[in-house]
Amino acid sequence: MNPIYFSAEFTTSAEQLSQCPDSVAEVAFAGRSNAGKSSAINAITRNGKLARTSKTPGRTQLINHFQIDEQRFLVDLPGYGYAQVSKSRQKAWHASMLRYLTRRAALRGVVVVMDIRHPLRDSDWSMIELQQESDAELHLLLTKADKISRSAQQQTVRRVQQEMEEAGISATIQEFSALKGTGLNDAHRVLDAWLFDREL
């Protein structure tokens, strides 16, 4: 576990790529609304108030940067996959994400957060397809693992891994529980590798 993440602080919210802060390395978190993305960020940073959590789908509408040190950031991307948003808003989100993922030179990796009980929905695949347009690496964080048994967790991880392989997509995958702290060390190792060039 790396305590450097515990000092993460909110820096800025950006509507456009041009508004994002100068950065040497950053990792972005993406996920369906209510998949547990904000809770995962808060667990990883041990700051329950860092990323906003809400039962209202689509709370995160901006690109939010959380500073780890002077040059490194965690990034909370707008949620996706909720029905209340208009087609034009969805199209705008898609364009904004594509610009961020393909043009953000500092982006080292993307963590796609999915509820372990409902992984790889159509909107998740859409996000993964966007990520594949970038040079960033991919990590799948299967949240709310405390909701199912250990054997079910392992089965889901294996199934998701198989689907990734069949799709020809390279990704690391883990189960995670913000409530229980499950997978926290593994998540930190991935971030360490991407942000600080450490061995996975």
pLDDT in tens, the chain (200 residues): 899 999 999 999 998 899 999 999 999 999 998 899 999 999 999 999 898 755 544 445 789 999 999 999 999 998 888 766 678 878 888 888 999 999 999 999 999 999 999 999 999 999 999 999 999 999 999 999 999 999 999 999 999 999 999 999 999 999 999 999 999 999 999 999 999 998 87
Claim: this prediction has a pTM higher than 0.85:
yes
Q: Is 89 helix (H, G, I), strand (E, B) or coil?
A: helix
How far apart are alpha carbons 64 and 54 in whole angstroms? 16
Other CB atoms within a 10 A radius of the CB of residue 195 amount to 23
Q: Give the chain's domains with CATH numbers.
A: 3-196 (3.40.50.300)
How far apart are alpha carbons 146 and 129 in whole angstroms? 28
Residues 76 and 51: beta-carbon distance below 8 Å = yes
